[in-house]
Structure 1
Amino acid sequence: MNYEQPKQLQAVILDWAGTVVDFGSFAPTQIFVEAFAEFGVQVSLEEARGPMGMGKWDHIRTLCDIPAIAERYKAKFGRVPSDDDVTAIYERFMPLQIEKIAEHSALIPGALDAIAAVRKGGLKVGSCSGYPAVVMEKVVALAKTNGYVADHVVATDEVPNGRPHPAQALANVIALGINDVAACVKVDDTWPGILEGRSAGMWTVALTCSGNALGLTYEQYKALPAEKLEQERRRIGQMFEGSRPHYLIDTIVELPAVIADINARLARGEMPQGS
């Protein structure tokens, strides 16, 4: 039997916060600020957004490794934060996250129509998140009440390694019965999520205006003057350069057009690893 390259996409793997729900990705970022504050350590919202997309323990570890934050922690406790300290912050973060997740659970405008169009094209809809399973259970339930149900969900603590490793994306491939990773497209608003898709051998689509990088509400995004919006697109595009997304789009609303373009490229024999 000979290998045959896929001729069209079979699945889209969607991130959650900032991609399908919670337009400005506020639920995770604000809780990081509050969790550190309960230990008397100041972390800005901008700092909290930096490692977004990683599993939450890894996210806190990365924040604690930032020299400025490590110094603030040392000023408070007389030492830089150890893994045990990270775990203590994480254990405070978790109940705060579960308690407040509903405050930022609204679907991104146009998401349902975009996903319906993707399904109409015959694609399955997988999903993964930097949230652990106990948080994802609530996120999934809230999304269902708003009309969104993914075909499969993989939380960060359900695989050996979270983002930027490819395990969550590949777990979707297995669960959905996809026969080639090149027949999948990963959609995310963070660089770890794009690296996840790249490392899994998938097409990748980075979101510039919904999610973590822009960090605005939908209303604030729509109110941006055209010149400012274009400046932000350029800035965010530069942020994503190292993760090498195949496409940059504002929000999930533009995804069906990207799907059509990828299908045309597959039909011509192009593969994600080659671009």
Structure 2
Amino acid sequence: MKQSYSGPVRAVILDWAGTTVDHGSLAPVRVLQQVFAKRGVLISEEEARRDMGVLKIDHIRKILLGSGVSARWRDVVKHDPTEADVESLFANFVPLQLECLVKYSTVIDGVAAAVGRIRKRGIKIGSTTGYTRAMLEMILQPAAAQGYAPHCAITPDDVGAGRPFPWMIFANAIRLRVEPLEAIVKIGDTPVDIEEGLRAGVWAIGVARTGNMIGLSAEDFAALAPAVQAGRLENARNALLAAGAHKVIDAVADCESAIDAIEVRIHKGERP
């Protein structure tokens, strides 16, 4: 019989855009809108954000096949969207995204310090992303220069598929040499981050303020009226909880208390 795990959290696996870098997850949205606009099809920010977190070619496919965008595509391009269109849009997306990433690679306030503190607790740091390997490579060095460098950084390219499949989390566990899975916490800012964690059998923490659910830079969010801030935060928290998050925090800077709460649940015999 497998012995019940009651030890501490051994690894935290963090998302990138909107969670550790690029407050508001702005880079993918701006480029997606630009790529579609070049074909004469305008997409809203809501349409660009709806499926954020999945591998970027899958993201483009979901946008293109959505009812509103596909109808606009037919009006402009004069044929139903095809897989060839998806691949063509993705081919246009990649160089623009690579060009944009360094501009939006600023580490979110509080991330480096919080990660440094949890590393001192003996917790290993991994990461997953919807970016390709080439895209992530554009972020790793600038992030490290700002004080954030995970022990492990896995992309969909490394495992054959992106979220919501759990393969990137499994690859992190292997490379970090961490087990059991219930000793791992996944932290991310989108519902598909949460789904990735749940499908992997790990704990999942949602990030409400800095990521895709609100979609604003730190400055733009700070400029909102307090009541508007509160309303947007409540909506973001509720969406992440509805996705199955075990805890929701506003930012990675707040993650230590959430990790502590999960450790209490582990000690009580609870499982993700």
| Superposition TM-score tier, normalisation by shorter sequence | over 0.9
Q: Which residue of the partner structure matches residue 181 of structure 2? A: 181
Q: Which residue of the partner structure matches residue 216 of structure 1? A: 216
Q: Greater CA deviation, 85-94 or 225-234?
A: 225-234
TM-score by length of 1: 0.95
Q: Which residue of the partner structure matches residue 203 of structure 1? A: 203
Q: Greater CA deviation, 105-114 or 257-266?
A: 257-266
Distance 1:153 1:6 in 2: 27
How much does 1:26 deviate?
0.5
Distance 1:178 1:6 in 2: 15
Q: Quick one: which amino acid aligns to residue 98 of structure 1?
A: L
Runs of 4+ residues over 3 Å off in structure 1: none
| Deviations 1:72-101, CA, capped at 9 Å, x for gaps | 111112112111110000000000000111
Does 2:8 align with 1:8?
yes
Note the residue ranges of structure 2 that are not aligned, 5 or more in a row. none
How much does 1:65 deviate?
1.2
Instruction: Report if the CA contact (8 A) 2:6-2:268 is conserved.
Output: no
Distance 2:147 2:89 in 1: 34
Q: Quick one: which amino acid aligns to residue 42 of structure 1?
A: L
Q: In structure 1, the residue corresponding to 2:12 is in which secondary structure?
A: strand
TM-score by length of 2: 0.96
How much does 1:250 deviate?
0.7
Distance 1:158 1:219 in 2: 35
Q: Quick one: which amino acid aligns to residue 235 of structure 2?
A: R
- Spell out the pairing of 1:112-151 with structure 2 (5 A cutoff): 112-151=112-151
Percentage of pairs with the same residue: 35
Q: Which residue of the partner structure matches residue 103 of structure 1? A: 103
Note the residue ranges of structure 1 that are not aligned, 5 or more in a row. none
Q: Greater CA deviation, 139-148 or 216-225?
A: 216-225
Q: Quick one: which amino acid aligns to residue 101 of structure 1?
A: L
Instruction: Report if the CA contact (8 A) 1:14-1:126 is conserved.
Output: yes
Q: In structure 1, the residue corresponding to 2:30 is in which secondary structure?
A: helix
Distance 1:221 1:99 in 2: 25
Instruction: Report if the CA contact (8 A) 2:241-2:248 is conserved.
Output: no
Q: Greater CA deviation, 252-261 or 226-235?
A: 226-235
Distance 1:120 1:112 in 2: 12
Instruction: Report if the CA contact (8 A) 2:241-2:247 is conserved.
Output: no
Instruction: Report if the CA contact (8 A) 2:4-2:269 is conserved.
Output: no
Instruction: Report if the CA contact (8 A) 1:27-1:104 is conserved.
Output: yes
Distance 2:263 2:238 in 1: 26
Distance 2:240 2:179 in 1: 28
Q: In structure 2, the residue corresponding to 1:154 is in which secondary structure?
A: coil
